[in-house]
Amino acid sequence: MYGVLKAVTLVLWALSLYLWIAMGAWYLFAFLFALHFLEIFAKGLSVGKKAGYSALYSAIMTQIFGFIWWKPINDRLNS
């Protein structure tokens, strides 16, 4: 399930980048960037650290995938 959601997230990033370049509509890209950027500090770094990932890796994966990356890790750590 999370594999499909990761693919959807990548398509959403690609669509937002296309809309920005082709039509100047940067709003979706900015929203995704800001949402995931805040999520890095809200949850991504702490979950990554608990799971043994570096801060850089955790930040990059959270910036790209958001909760789709850290939620399954958090669930596994808390089970």
Q: How large is the angle between the packed helices 55-65 and 2-23, nearest 10 degrees?
A: 70
Q: Report CA torsion sign: 63, 12, 19, 39.
A: negative
Whether 2 shows a pLDDT value over 90: the answer reads no
Q: State which residues form the domain around 27.
A: 2-77
Q: What is the pLDDT of residue 34?
A: 97
Q: Is the pLDDT of residue 79 over 90?
A: no
- In one-letter notation, the amino acid at residue 76 is R
**Average pLDDT, stretch 64-77?**
95
Q: Which pLDDT tens digit goes with each residue over 12-70?
A: 999 999 999 999 999 999 999 999 999 999 999 999 999 999 999 999 999 999 999 99
At 1, the pLDDT band (50, 70, 90 cuts) reads confident
Number of domains in the chain: 1
Question: What's the pLDDT score for residue 38?
Answer: 97
